[in-house]
Amino acid sequence: MPSYTAPVRDTLFVLNEVLDIQRYAALRGYADATPDVVQAILEGAAKLAEEVLQPLNAVGDRLGCTRHPDGSVTTPPGFKGGFDEYVAGGWIGLSMDPEYGGQGLPHAISAAVEEYVISANMAFAMYPGLTQGAIAAITAVASEEQKRRFIPPMIEGRWMGTMNLTEPHCGTDLGLLRTRAEPQADGSYRITGTKIFISSGDHDLTENIIHLVLAKLPDSPDNVKGISLFIVPKVDVNEDGSLGAANAVSVGSIEEKMGIHGNATCVMNYDGATGYLIGEKDKGLRAMFIMMNAARLLVGMQGLAISEVAYQNALAYARERLQGRALTGPKNAAGKADPIIVHPDVRRMLMDVKAFNEGARALALWGALLVDLADVAATPEDRQEADDLVGLLTPVIKGFFTERGYLNATNAQQCLGGHGYIREWGLEQFVRDARISMIYEGTNGIQALDLVGRKLPMNGGRAYKAFCKLIVAFLNPLAAEPAFAEFFLPLQKALGDLQAATGWLARNGIVNPDNAGAGSMPYLQLMGLVSLGFMWAKIAKLAQEAIAADRDPDGFHATKLATARYYFSHVIVETATQRAKVEAGAAHVMALAAEAF
């Protein structure tokens, strides 16, 4: 059976040393995040993840969710108890607004907790994860009365949230959606339509579910400019917040899918259901994007979290499994064979995953810190810069992390040979679970287009320039340090590849938009590699300083330095390939007529 140990030590290293969050102690939320508090939170989350949620992971995969003849849906055995413990620990409201019952702690802390929960049980994590996204959207656009009515019960864990965009004929192109909203005399709306693939669409974990539904009004344009956002409760909610009658919302079926079986992915039927408009009419997509941005960072975290748990299990196996002899002579002379961790090809796979995981953890938590700073940084300029950076990094974190997360899960599986393909070891579940994160919350192809088509040119390239400036400002003072050259030079070269590719896109994307489309995914990979390189360079610097000051009693920083060396010699070198793919343009991608394939 697979196991999981939350990487608390590494998370603390990122928060305390790489991001040095204590320097923000004067800012809202951070004042309460003292080192002791942060450590206690992470240790509590680790215990929950390891002891309560991880043991439910294989059960959830095997038994899945059930739709009963009366239309109700139940989650796998144990999920309800696990959720009750999750609620009792106050985990839903960790970084939510205290005004509505949250604890107001930084997102940098709740994101770290999310990693553990997802690693332990990704299907389970999606229930509270979507609720957090729904709360974010309601917070951003709903009226004060609506916020007071709907948010506190969600933070208390009595109700949950979902997001309903996708319909049978449209997922990416939401302008095509057909769900209708008819205005009623009392100010509510009647919602009619079918939504598919709705995560956590129905379940037995809470007494109510707050569906956020995109629909069109009769007099709205029949395109993306005519979409509004509605709250459609499973059980209607009276003005005083008490539960009313059951709403005309039903589950058509539970989708049979490749992974995340413990999450109920539902076909949802709205048959004249009562809905409440939130935000402005026809501005629903904008509101939903607020929810999706939070959700995209969370999905990026799924890539890292699955990669981490897959790595831990592959590593344990590689240390135990005896096959063959090391190329340089026996390492386990007393035994008939050496553990497979001696083989360079097994090492290559483990090092690829380890180097990703630790760099990605730093980048993910930096992204979460930027979410906080966009809100609470001391000056408008600092808030603007944080907002720009997180906007730029969101598609990178979602797209790059989930591409690598899936690849890493298959590499971890490969370390187990045939046993990796056998259910008992758990690796095949990680591979299946990881796959969806590349698809939902906007496919990775759409993330790449968002990066190249929107985020790069936005405000005259302000976010991209701020990103490059940060890296240059970090590198410049280190240019003359020979001991840092092994990190400085590869990062400088990778940044050069990024800048060259950006320039090429700016020139050639205008001439032919297909050039931007064809180069978008390699460009996203390129920016992901540079972003992780930035994190690894910071980590290497800290590790060098700790070792020089004799502050590395357990060899933690020496291991970081060795892993940084792997990243800069074996991983970041891929930027040259990605740049070449960007600069190859669209000509040969688009050369064949559709019928010639």
- Does residue 33 contact residue 109 with C-beta atoms inside 8 Å? yes
CB of 446 to ligand FAD, least distance (A): 5
CB of 165 to ligand FAD, least distance (A): 3
Does 209 sit near ligand FAD (CB under 6 A)? no
Nearest CB to ligand FAD, comparing residues 397 and 535: 397
Does 270 sit near ligand FAD (CB under 6 A)? no
Does 287 sit near ligand FAD (CB under 6 A)? no
According to CB under 6 A, which residues from 144 to 163 bind ligand FAD?
A: 163
Helix (H, G, I), strand (E, B) or coil at 181: strand
Nearest CB to ligand FAD, comparing residues 505 and 542: 505
Measured between alpha carbons, how far is 359 from 355 in angstroms, rounded to an integer? Answer: 6
Measured between alpha carbons, how far is 463 from 498 in angstroms, rounded to an integer? Answer: 14
User: Pick from 224, 243, 315, 446: which binds ligand FAD (CB under 6 A)?
Assistant: 446
Size of the site for ligand FAD (CB under 6 A): 19
CB of 243 to ligand FAD, least distance (A): 23
Alpha helix (H) residue ranges in 377-484: 380-415, 427-435, 444-449, 458-475
CB of 449 to ligand FAD, least distance (A): 6
Measured between alpha carbons, how far is 213 from 302 in angstroms, rounded to an integer? Answer: 24
CB-nearest residue to ligand FAD:
171
For ligand FAD, what does the binding mask look like between residues 221 and 260, x meaning CB under 6 A?
Answer: ------------------------------------x---
Measured between alpha carbons, how far is 331 from 342 in angstroms, rounded to an integer? Answer: 8
- 220's tokens: 């709205």
Nearest CB to ligand FAD, comparing residues 120 and 521: 521
Does 445 sit near ligand FAD (CB under 6 A)? yes
What is the set of active-site residues?
A: 441
Q: In 3D, which of 134, 131, 151, 122 has the Cα closest to residue 53?
A: 122
Beta strands in 93-207 (DSSP E): 159-164, 180-183, 189-199
Does 74 sit near ligand FAD (CB under 6 A)? no
User: Pick from 119, 164, 437, 544: which binds ligand FAD (CB under 6 A)?
Assistant: 164
Nearest CB to ligand FAD, comparing residues 36 and 256: 256
- 533's tokens: 């390189």
Measured between alpha carbons, how far is 485 from 458 in angstroms, rounded to an integer? Answer: 34
Residues sharing a CB contact under 8 Å with residue 67, sequence separation 6 or more, in sequence order: 73, 202, 251, 253, 254
Does 277 sit near ligand FAD (CB under 6 A)? no
Residues sharing a CB contact under 8 Å with residue 531, sequence separation 6 or more, in sequence order: 363, 393, 396, 400
Sign of dihedral through CA atoms 421, 425, 426, 430?
Answer: negative
Q: How many alpha carbons fall within 13 Å on the CB side of residue 559?
A: 11
Q: Which stretch binds ligand FAD (CB under 6 A): 195-203, 222-230, 269-277, 381-389?
A: 195-203
CB of 127 to ligand FAD, least distance (A): 11
According to CB under 6 A, which residues from 415 to 444 bind ligand FAD?
A: 436, 439-440, 442-443
The footprint of ligand FAD (CB under 6 A) covers: 163-166, 171-172, 197-199, 257, 265, 436, 439-440, 442-443, 445-446, 449
